[in-house]
A and B are shown apart, each in its own frame.
Chain A
Amino acid sequence: MAVVKIQRPKLGFGEKIYFAALIKGFILTMTHAVKSLLGKSMGAKSLESSGLGVTMQFPEQRWDAQMPDYYRGAPALVTDEQGRERCVSCQLCEFICPPKAIKIVPGEIPSDDPWAKVEKRPKEFDIDMIRCIYCGMCEEVCPEQAIFLRKDYLITGLKRADMVHDKKKLYEIGGVRTGLVNKWNELK
Chain B
Amino acid sequence: MPDLLLQLAIILFKIVTLTFIVVLPLVPISVYFERRFSAIIQDRVGPNRVGIPLSLLGFKKDFHFFGLIQPMADGIKLFLKEDFTPQYVRKAFYWLAPALTVVPALITVCVVPFGSPITIFGHTEKLVIADIDVGPLFVFAIASLSVYGITLAGWSSNSKFPFIGGVRSTAQMISYEICLGLSIIPVLLYFGELNLGKIVEHQAQHGWLLLPLWQNGQIGLPDMQTALFWIPAVIAFLIFTISIFAETNRMPFDLPECETELVGGYHTEYSSMKFALFFMGEYAAMVIGSAMVVTLFLGGWSAGFGLDPLIAKLGIGGFQIGGLIHLGIFLTKLVGFILFFILVRWTVPRFRYDQLMKLGWVIFFEAALINVFLAALILAAPDLTAVILGTGAVLLIAVTAAVIWVAKTSEAPVKPLRA
A 21-53 contacts with B by CB, 8 A:
22, 25-26, 28-30, 32-33, 35-37, 41-42, 44, 50, 52-53
The answer to whether B347 touches A55, judged by C-beta atoms less than 8 angstroms apart, is no
**A41 CB contacts on chain B under 8 angstroms:** 43
Q: Which of B40, B42, B343, B346 has the most CB of A within 10 A?
A: B40
The answer to whether B41 touches A29, judged by C-beta atoms less than 8 angstroms apart, is yes
The answer to whether B45 touches A29, judged by C-beta atoms less than 8 angstroms apart, is no
**A26, closest chain B residue (CB):** B347
The answer to whether B45 touches A33, judged by C-beta atoms less than 8 angstroms apart, is no
> A33 is contacted by which of B37, B48, B348 (Cβ under 8 Å)?
B37
> A25 is contacted by which of B42, B44, B45, B348 (Cβ under 8 Å)?
B348
The answer to whether B45 touches A55, judged by C-beta atoms less than 8 angstroms apart, is yes
The answer to whether A50 touches B45, judged by C-beta atoms less than 8 angstroms apart, is yes
**A33 CB contacts on chain B under 8 angstroms:** 37, 40-41
The answer to whether A57 touches B45, judged by C-beta atoms less than 8 angstroms apart, is yes
The answer to whether B45 touches A22, judged by C-beta atoms less than 8 angstroms apart, is no
A54 at interface, CB cutoff 8 A: yes
**B37 CB contacts on chain A under 8 angstroms:** 33
* Bound Cα distance A44, B40 (Å): 13
Q: List 13 A-B contacts (CB under 8 A).
A: A22-B347, A22-B348, A30-B41, A32-B41, A32-B42, A36-B40, A36-B43, A41-B43, A52-B45, A53-B40, A53-B42, A53-B43, A53-B45
- Per-residue A-contact encoding for B341-385, CB less than 8 Å = 1, 0 else: 001001110000000000000000000000000000000000000
* Bound Cα distance A30, B348 (Å): 13
Q: Which of B42, B43, B48 has the most CB of A within 10 A?
A: B43
Q: Which 3 A-B pairs have CB atoms at the shortest separation, nearest pair first?
A: A53-B43, A41-B43, A25-B347
B39 at interface, CB cutoff 8 A: yes
**A52 CB contacts on chain B under 8 angstroms:** 40, 45, 48
**B43 CB contacts on chain A under 8 angstroms:** 32, 35-36, 41-42, 44, 53-55
**A25, closest chain B residue (CB):** B347
**A42 CB contacts on chain B under 8 angstroms:** 43
**B348 CB contacts on chain A under 8 angstroms:** 22, 25
Further pairs besides A42-B43, A53-B40, A55-B43: 12, Cβ < 8 Å: A22-B348, A25-B347, A25-B348, A29-B343, A29-B346, A32-B42, A33-B37, A35-B43, A36-B41, A37-B40, A53-B44, A55-B44
Report the count of interface residues on B (CB-CB < 8 A). Answer: 13
The answer to whether A53 touches B39, judged by C-beta atoms less than 8 angstroms apart, is yes
* Bound Cα distance A42, B348 (Å): 22
The answer to whether A26 touches B41, judged by C-beta atoms less than 8 angstroms apart, is no
**A30 CB contacts on chain B under 8 angstroms:** 41, 343
**B41 CB contacts on chain A under 8 angstroms:** 29-30, 32-33, 36
Q: Which residues of B contact A (CB under 8 A)?
A: 37, 39-45, 48, 343, 346-348
**B48 CB contacts on chain A under 8 angstroms:** 52
**B238, closest chain A residue (CB):** A19
* Bound Cα distance A44, B37 (Å): 18
**B39 CB contacts on chain A under 8 angstroms:** 53
**B346 CB contacts on chain A under 8 angstroms:** 29
* Bound Cα distance A134, B253 (Å): 45
**A50 CB contacts on chain B under 8 angstroms:** 45
In whole Å, how far is A41's beta carbon from the nearest beta carbon of chain B? Answer: 4
**B42 CB contacts on chain A under 8 angstroms:** 32, 53
* Bound Cα distance A30, B37 (Å): 10
Q: Which of B39, B41, B48 has the most CB of A within 10 A?
A: B41
> B343 is contacted by which of A26, A37, A44 (Cβ under 8 Å)?
A26
In whole Å, how far is B336's beta carbon from the nearest beta carbon of chain A? Answer: 14
* Bound Cα distance A30, B43 (Å): 11
* Bound Cα distance A41, B348 (Å): 21
In whole Å, how far is A36's beta carbon from the nearest beta carbon of chain B? Answer: 5
In whole Å, how far is A10's beta carbon from the nearest beta carbon of chain B? Answer: 13
In whole Å, how far is A48's beta carbon from the nearest beta carbon of chain B? Answer: 14
* Bound Cα distance A28, B42 (Å): 11
* Bound Cα distance A57, B347 (Å): 26
* Bound Cα distance A6, B378 (Å): 48
**B40 CB contacts on chain A under 8 angstroms:** 32-33, 36-37, 52-53
* Bound Cα distance A78, B261 (Å): 53
In whole Å, how far is B63's beta carbon from the nearest beta carbon of chain A? Answer: 16
* Bound Cα distance A32, B39 (Å): 10
**B347 CB contacts on chain A under 8 angstroms:** 22, 25-26, 28-29
* Bound Cα distance A37, B44 (Å): 10
* Bound Cα distance A22, B39 (Å): 20
Q: Which of A29, A32, A42, A44 has the most CB of B within 10 A?
A: A29
In whole Å, how far is B405's beta carbon from the nearest beta carbon of chain A? Answer: 16
In whole Å, how far is B72's beta carbon from the nearest beta carbon of chain A? Answer: 22
**B340, closest chain A residue (CB):** A26
In whole Å, how far is A152's beta carbon from the nearest beta carbon of chain B? Answer: 24
**A57 CB contacts on chain B under 8 angstroms:** 45
**A50, closest chain B residue (CB):** B45
**A25 CB contacts on chain B under 8 angstroms:** 347-348
- Per-residue B-contact encoding for A48-77, CB less than 8 Å = 1, 0 else: 001011110100000000000000000000
In whole Å, how far is A18's beta carbon from the nearest beta carbon of chain B? Answer: 9
* Bound Cα distance A37, B45 (Å): 9
* Bound Cα distance A113, B50 (Å): 57
